[in-house]
Structure 1
Amino acid sequence: MLLVFRWLLRIASVLVVLSVIAVMGVYYLASRSLPDYDKALDVSGLTAPTRILRDHSNVPHIFSEEDAAVFFGLGYAHTQDRLWQMTVMRRTAQGRLSEVFGSATLPVDKLLRRFDIYSLARSSVAAQDAETLAALEAYAAGVNARLAEINESALGRGAPEMFLFNAPISPWRPEDSIAILKLMAVQLSGHAADEILRARTSLSLDNDTRLKDLLPDMPGTGVAALPAYASLFPSAGFGTQIARAKSLPQHPLSPFQPRGLAGASNAWAAAPSRSATGGTLLANDPHLGLTAPAIWYLARLELSSGGVIGATIPGMPLILVGRSESLGWGLTSSYLDDQDIFIEELNPNNREEYRTPDGYKPFVSRRSIIKIKDEPSITLTLHSTDNGPVLPPSFRNVGAVTPAGHVAALAWTALEPNDTSMSAGFHIMRAQNIDDALTASALYIAPSQNLTLADKDNIAMKTIGAMPRRPAEAESKGRIPSRGWLTQNRWQGYFPATANPEFIRPTGGIVGNTNNKLLERPFPLHVSYEWGDSQRIQRWQRLMQGRKAHSRESFVEAQLDITSTTARTILPLVAADLWFTGEAAPEGTPERRRQIALNLLAGWTGSMNEHLPEPLIYAAWMRFLQERIIKDELGPLAEEFPHLEPLFIERVFRNIDGAGVWCNIIQSSATETCADIARMSLDDALVWLNEVYGTSIEALRWGDAHEATHDHPVLGEVSVLRHFVNIRQSTSGGDNTLMRGRTRGTGPEPFQNVHAAGYRGVYDFTDPDSSIFITSTGQSGHPLSRHYDDLAQLWRRGEYITMSLDEGLARAASVGETVLTPKSD
């Protein structure tokens, strides 16, 4: 027995030693790709000596006598820290994810091949002006110099993920940067999804007024009544198609965001007349899906036009949002309607032709081969019409609204083959004042944004991006899919950039946007009928007008504001017949729990504070309330409304145009009132909260549910690795607060914070070097780097780092300095 024990001990010891050796080996290989920031290097392709000084937060400050060398340095720095992110984004744009990740990403590749954005990026290279093209080429040379260094010095393949996935890297080219900008357009566009959902909902509801309840126009003058979608195709038989419609699976690498997550942001500026210090102010926090690392990367470029500092997206040689000595610029999603779905009728005698105003016409067809890891390649035959590429039925469930004998095609500004958006971004970055920036913005195509500007004397905001010129008689006005063979529905090019909304030097001294409706203009100059916000803007107005003069601190306060105007408005309506009306109830009964919850909510101010129970009670109640109200009318389609629709709930509980009828459950024999549904929904929510959290109501905590999910999009789902690569944090805020933390809306953890401000910046032009910024994770994409998550806790606590163009401040406690010297041939 002792002998057996000794051998078992020896075997266990050997296994432990082997495990330690294996872990050490993995760590050694992974650590080889950790960049050395303090070195001198001779590199090919560089035109002048370049210094990359990294400050204490690992923000690179790049200096050279030539602008091209500065962009070279940015390409080199991006590749040091974010090589994996850059290569995956490029593969996504190319539709080549399946070569690395297998069939799991095949649906994403198939769809992106239909859009062909990489070919469009390649054709757009020639459309850039000489300065922008030179910057693109220099940036690509910097990326390739780092790739050459990795290969020559065996630097762990450049990123630890490269050891797990066989992802060969080809040299970087200018079209790769343009393709990444087009990929951002994919991520930020949602009008096609809105059109399809409106059509599907129209088919499910037999009353146009009820459609307006659920999908209401934003406050303001509404659009004229649309035709019922079914009336456009009277013999289509949509019922069976709704039942069998299937949507694309949502993969972590997919750029196609669920409805409600396509894009958001905040930006506001104050003129000297509204500034406590007499200089202009600008604040910006763009909202995107949370990832680890964050999509944003901070950098400072010292150009011949002056220093610029702010946020970049690795893969592009641009400071997309930030400031120079004389100008600050911020971006928010404009919600300009830049997409239309067209239903194309097939020739019944030749399905390779579709109907046009001039008769049937052959599709433009092309073949595309997709290689799949460990599986045979597949060949797609892709079709396009005059209106755009033909979509698969699974795209946003468009098959549910496509009649038999028809296909759907997409018109979209991002499919422009001579896209000059990169040149626009380049010249905005170099602009010296508002007028220069506005002139440069005329070149911008997609994705459409609201550009907020502040120079030392003035402020402005302008919607940038191509605005489709729709005929005034278009039958759907871009709100539902329309018949592609009618001339009255087809686009007639774009409006000139001067037609886009602009607010220059406003008399009130304040300008801002929270993705809200900007103005009311008649169709087709309407800009959009779908907007991203009707709630946050109310809180913003109150904060801005509550002070005669603003400061950097008051702008920070507004960025971090967690008061929900939605909760303050909705709760008194929903609970109007429930407050303090219950009789004494025994401890532990549902009635007692309901009383406790109502007592808490009665004294709540609407603060979505992570430490409070009230936000969680409120959020769960509204979730079950909306589900109870719409599910019997919509059936499975109710799943397409995973987030609270505040305007809908308000219409129902105010009984606007008879909307209170939604509260009656059609499937039951009783006639339910809105008070009945409110009470039952609260009980549903309390049961769910008890099952999930198993604690008293008073001990609930919003932050336990509203956890920010900075997840690695590839390794974040691997059972062991996810504990090292994912960053999870308890957070305040919610769907409708200025410090927006958009919730997932579905699944077992519906209140996870998945979409928020990955970057925050506040710029004060009285003292520009006192400007501040932050990103949501850290500069490095390497999980073993201390800069992988070093900014995350600052971000969570609402803290910032200094945004200075002072080299002396950057050098203090710097991480290191890389000196790049041109290699003599």
Structure 2
Amino acid sequence: MVLLSVIVVIGLYFLLSRSLPDYDKTISVSGITSQVEIVHDNANVPHVFAGNDADVFFGLGYAHAQDRLWQMTMLRRTVQGRLSEVFGPRTLNIDKALRRFDLYGAAVKSVEVQDARTRAALTAYAAGVNARLQDINNAALGRGAPEMFVFSNPIAPWRPADSIAIIKLMAVQLSAHLEHEVLYARTSLQLDDAARLADIMPLDPSSGIAALPEYASLWPGAEFPVLAAKTDTRQDPLSPFQKRAFAGASNAWAAAPARSAAGGTLLANDPHLGFTAPGIWYLARLELSSGGVIGGTIPGVPTIMTGRSASLGWGLTASHMDDQDVFIEKVNPDNAGEYLTPDGYKPFVTQKSIIRIKDADPVTLTRRWTDNGPVLPGSHYNLGHVTPSGHVASVSWTALSPTDTTMSAAIALLYSKTIDEALEAGERYVTPSQNLTLVDQNKIALKTIGAMPRRSADHESKGRLPSRGWIAANRWQGISPYSANPEFISPAGGLLGNTNNKTVDRPFPLHVSFVWGDTQRVHRWRKLMQSREVHTRDSFIEAQLDTVSFTARSLLPLIGADLWFTGESAPEGTPERQRQRALQLLSDWNGEMSEHRPEPLIYAAWLRAVQDRLIRDQLGPLADEFPHPEPIFIERVYRDVDGASAWCDIKLSSPVETCTDIARLALDDALIWINERYGSALESLRWGDAHQATHDHPVLGEVPVLRYFVNIQQSTSGGDNTLLRGLTSGSGEDPFHNVHGAGYRGVYDFADPDSSVFITATGQSGHFLSRHYDDLAQLWRRGEYIPMSLDPELARAAAVGVTVLKPVAE
């Protein structure tokens, strides 16, 4: 048995290792006109050189397929709604949702509207991917990835539309307004006191936007069916649909030469997405006719999404622009195939779509569209809870555009040398909306890019609640001009930045959004930026890695105001004594969310328990939709803003509880949970034991034994509201696992561009037997970086291999 086991292990290793890329080889391929050289530096970052730009994009496609073929095919299958062909009924609901949106169909149509340079890049990139597929087939290279042995479905050739579709898939991950509208409506229906809605789902405190109507007032006498079962497309690791808290975040800041110690512009960027193994980011350098470009790419997409050239740097943060609206459509009671429009009833546009399912019969899906967009069933996004009987819900969304020129904007950015050229390129960007932070040799700028829906000033819910689709004033009036998007160029203070905070305070309909991603990190960022007259690359790195929680510093004095240093001494082993020890630790704490300290865990557990105590009695099961403490809500309650302290009284109990009672009870709840999970020795707790960064393989990460090889877990500092953001899961057995954060970090110094640095959270390879699968992970965890240089000789020094692609002789 031992011998047989050894033989099996050796055989498996041989089969799986066949797909490990050989970076040091020369092959002849068709589809190029010049020799392509891919130099893999000592961190396995490919530097692609060729005789023309098309062949450079070909080389990038080949490199992506070398290292991330499985990831690319899964991204494509996901956006196509074809996961069930591989994984069976488990992913059927994900496929149904994506088929209804038909993002891939919109991507196919969008190919023709790209400019000639972009179409050439897409075609060349696809040819590079397909050349790697051909190489795998010809040389029997283990199907290209270890996962292909378990899931052996054929791989279709790569097409230009596939790359555009992956950008649209990113819009799925970064968009949360649809879910937020539904939750806002559900919460409105649940609360007895409508005034309390402004507490639990608050606007940014600096907002001057007027109150919105109660959702029920739009539907006098209507019945809202509560579904016994709902379709949750967010739980599966393969799902691109995110809970609203995970819908995208990021940091970016820039300094003008006058605020830089070395006299050159500075830029730091760390986009935040859900953690996976491998991560979504892939580092690369392209040597184009306009010069070298280096930064973070997404496998499947032929461009540098965030990075720099010799003269321009750019970074992305989620803008949280309101680019989605839910419409409630009235179905004709006499003809279920029609819906009401401002001009009367009109037939739904319908289309059949067949979903093939592994080991099961195929399912035929009937897709329906209204003028406003695709119709979604009530089981998706909990829409059934807010859709009156006799109605259906549809969705307007900029990502559904069949004339999406986002890819052309991204390619044009590669060739831009100045901020003015980059801003011009951004006009073609459609989705997902981003804040584009730019620096060139002389100035800095920030511009919101992406299509901003134009809404009527008479819109009845202002886009924050689902609205009636047959009222003309509720419908989109097209797209606002690019000039209406927020823009900041060369500010007088010489500093620009965004932590997903509110960027403008404009009245509806030019408000950009009701829902911004950050009200907390921006305070710490402002303090760090203004505490120095001039900045350096290292001070930008310090800010990027900062773990001090402004939220902890501001909320702890509020919720513990009547608990600090009060009460009589209690004997050891009693709850009172444990509470006193916890309060003593927190009173001496500076708010730093260090992985090595106990206070962050006590604070995080207490805050979580406080919110649950405040909302559970009024919201019931709906409280589960608020898994992360909302700092503004808790502050409103403990400052009694507009009567918000009413949340402290538990409605179902006879006594009238105070906010101090809730704080004390919640602290006891938190300590009981900590004692059961980590023990009663508070001083020996480590935040990092709870705040493990979980880079899990979306498919193999749950397989016994194998998960220890494919998942990457690390003790980390930071938290939900620190600049070194590590958003916690908020639910389950490990509510403080770090599941969403900076998968890429880059800091660019244009006083000495080759001193710029970057890093990703895992490694370059998607092959778990490769040493490059996780070789960057520990550097990332420790806050270290690797050089981001355009010096070709530095790339060749200690390179792990050079792949040479030669054109096939005619």
TM over 0.5: yes
Letter in 2 for 1:250: Q
Which residue number corresponds to residue 221 of structure 2?
Answer: 235
Residue 430 of structure 2 corresponds to which residue in structure 1? 445
The one-letter amino acid of 1:446's match is T
TM-score, scaled to structure 2: 0.99
- The aligned counterpart of 2:488 is 503
After superposition, residues 411-490 of structure 1 pair within 5 angstroms as: 411-490=396-475
- In the alignment, which residue of structure 1 is the partner of 2:700? 715
Corresponding position: 1:356 with 2:341: yes
Distance 1:108 1:287 in 2: 23
- Per-residue deviation, 1:206: 2.5
Aligned residue for 2:789, secondary structure, equals coil
Structure 1: distance between partners of 2:495 and 2:679: 47
Kept after mapping to 2: 8 A contact 1:244/1:400: no
Where 1:475 maps in the other structure, the secondary structure is coil
Per the TM alignment, residue 695 of structure 1 is displaced from its structure 2 partner at its CA by 4.1
Residue 29 of structure 2 corresponds to 43
Aligned to 2:665: 680
- Establish whether residue 152 from structure 1 lines up as the match of residue 138 from structure 2: yes
Deviation per residue, 1:710-749 (Å, 9 max, x gap): 0000000111110000000000000000000000000010
Secondary structure at the aligned position of 2:351 is classed as strand
How far off its partner does 1:167 sit?
2.2
> Contact 1:326–1:455 at 8 Å: present in 2 too?
yes
Structure-2 residue corresponding to 1:207: 193
2:388 is aligned to: 403
2:478 to 485, 493, 496: 493
Which of 172, 175, 179 pairs up with 1:186?
A: 172
Instruction: Give per-residue Cα distances to partners, 1:751-773, cap 9 Å, x unaligned.
Output: 00000000000000000000000
Q: Which residue of 1 aligns with 2:280?
A: 295
Is the contact between residue 264 and residue 749 of structure 2 (CA under 8 Å) also seen in structure 1?
yes
In 2, Cα distance between the equivalents of 1:302 and 1:249? Answer: 39
Q: Which residue of 2 aligns with 1:53?
A: 39
Give deviations 1:474-522, integer Å, cap 9, x for gaps.
0000000000000010001000111100001111100000000001111
Provide the residue aligned with 1:5 in structure 2. none
What secondary structure is seen at the aligned counterpart in 1 of 2:78? Answer: helix
Residue 392 of structure 1, CA deviation: 1.6
Alignment match, 2:554: 569
- The residue aligned with 1:728 is 713
1:321 to 306, 309, 324: 306
Q: 2:770 aligns with which of 779, 785, 789?
A: 785
Give the drift of 1:224: 1.4
Q: Which residue of 2 aligns with 1:197?
A: 183
Deviation at 1:65, TM superposition (A): 1.4
Q: 1 CA distance for matches of 2:705 and 2:354?
A: 35
Q: CA deviation at 1:365?
A: 0.1
RMSD: 0.8
Alpha-carbon distance in 2 for matches of 1:69, 1:235: 64
Measure how far apart 1:394 and its partner are: 2.1
State how 1:550-565 maps to structure 2 within 5 Å. 550-565=535-550
- Measured against aligned partners, the alpha-carbon deviations of 1:586-641 in whole angstroms (never above 9, x if no partner) come to 11110010000000000000000000000000000011110010000000000000
Alignment of 1:309 with 2:294, yes or no, is yes
Match of 2:81 in 1: 95
CA distance in structure 1 between the aligned counterparts of 2:433 and 2:57, rounded to whole angstroms: 25
- The 8 Å contact of residues 208 and 507 in structure 2, kept in 1 or not, is answered as no
For 2:199 and 2:149, locate their aligned partners in 1 and report how far apart those are by CA, in whole Å. Answer: 53
- Matched residue SS, 2:431: coil
SS of the equivalent of 1:390 reads strand
Contact 1:41–1:819 (CA under 8 A) maintained in structure 2: yes
Residues 552-592 of structure 1, C-alpha deviations (whole Å, 9 max, x = no match): 00000000000000000000000000000021111111001
From 764, 788, 800, give the equivalent of 1:815. Answer: 800
| Mapped partners of 1:653, 1:634: distance in 2 | 19
User: Partner residue of 1:9?
Assistant: none
Determine if contact 2:233/2:239 at 8 Å carries over to the other structure.
no
Structure 2 residue identity aligned to 1:804: S
Select the residue among 526, 529, 534 that pairs with 2:514.
Answer: 529
Match of 2:353? 368
- Residue 376 of structure 2 aligns to a residue whose secondary structure is coil
Q: What is the alpha-carbon distance in structure 2 between the residues aligned to residue 506 and residue 396 of structure 1? A: 41
How far apart, CA to CA, are the structure 1 residues paired with 2:491 and 2:182?
37
Match of 1:20 in 2: 6
Question: Residue 204 of structure 2: SS of its match in structure 1?
Answer: coil
Q: Which aligned pairs between 1:97-116 and structure 2 lie closer than 5 A? A: 97-116=83-102
Residue 251 (structure 2) aligns with: 266
**1:624 alignment counterpart:** 609
Letter paired with 2:301: M
SS of match in other structure, 2:505: coil
Distance 1:698 1:518 in 2: 41
Query: Could you tell me whether the CA contact under 8 Å between 1:340 and 1:411 is conserved in 2?
Result: yes
Letter aligned with residue 148 of structure 1:
Q
Aligned residues: 810
- Which of residues 37, 49, 53 is equivalent to 1:67? 53
3-state SS of paired residue (2:506): coil
Partners of 2:207 and 2:8 in 1: CA distance: 67
Q: For residue 630 of structure 1, what is the amino acid of its counterpart?
A: I
Per the TM alignment, residue 90 of structure 1 is displaced from its structure 2 partner at its CA by 0.2
Q: Secondary structure at the match of 1:345?
A: strand
Please tell me the residue identity of whatever aligns with 1:414: A
Distance in 2 (CA, whole Å) between partners of 1:157 and 1:134 is: 28
1:11-64 Cα shifts (integer Å, max 9, x gaps): xxxx11111100111000000000100111100111211100010000000101
Flag the 1:217–1:249 CA change in 2: closer, same or farther, 3 A. closer
What's the CA shift for 1:248? 3.6
Instruction: Tell me the residue number matched to 1:12.
Output: none
> 1:260 aligns to what SS in structure 2?
helix
Q: For residues 88-108 of structure 1, what are the alpha-carbon distances to aligned partners after superposition, in whole Å with 9 as ceiling and x for unaligned? A: 000001000000000110000
2:185 partner amino acid: A
- Residue 723 of structure 2 aligns with an amino acid whose one-letter code is L
Contact 2:338 2:345 in 1 (8 A): yes
SS of equivalent to 2:381? helix
Per the alignment, residue 151 of structure 2 pairs with 165
How many angstroms does 1:799 deviate by? 0.2
> Contact (CA 8 Å) 1:320, 1:429: kept in 2 or not?
no
Shift of 1:85: 0.2
Query: 1:245 touches 1:400 (CA, 8 Å); kept in 2?
Result: no
Q: Distance in 2 between matches of 1:449 and 1:327?
A: 18
Q: Gaps spanning 5+ residues in structure 2: where?
A: none
Structure 2 counterpart of 1:757, from 724, 728, 742: 742
Q: Which amino acid aligns with 1:631?
A: R
Once residues 646 and 452 of structure 1 are traced to their aligned partners in structure 2, the CA distance between those partners, rounded to angstroms, is 27
Q: Kindly state the Cα deviation for residue 243 of structure 1 after the two structures are TM-superposed.
A: 6.8
Q: How does 1:606-685 map to 2 (within 5 A)?
A: 606-685=591-670
Is 2:536 the counterpart of 1:545?
Answer: no
Alignment partner, residue 221 of structure 1:
207
Query: CA shift at 1:242, angstroms?
Result: 6.7
When normalised by structure 1's length, the TM-score is 0.98
Of 314, 317, 320, which residue of structure 2 is paired with 1:332?
A: 317
Query: What is the one-letter code of the residue matched to 2:359?
Result: D
Give the match for residue 108 of structure 2: 122
1:246 Cα deviation after fit? 5.4
Measure how far apart 1:333 and its partner are.
Answer: 0.1
- SS of residue matched to 2:133: helix
Provide the C-alpha distance between the structure 2 equivalents of 1:584 and 1:189, rounded to a whole number of angstroms: 51
Kindly tell me: are residues 245 and 781 of structure 1, through their superposed partners in 2, closer, same or farther at Cα, counting changes over 3 Å?
closer
Following superposition, the deviation at residue 420 of structure 1 comes to 0.1
Counterparts of 2:227 and 2:348, CA distance in 1: 27
The percent of aligned pairs where both chains have the same amino acid is 69
Residue 222 of structure 1, CA deviation: 2.8
Which residue identity is paired with 2:735? P
The structural deviation recorded for 1:429 is: 1.6
1:745 corresponding residue in structure 2: 730
Q: What CA distance in whole angstroms lies between the structure 2 residues aligned with 1:455 and 1:189?
A: 30
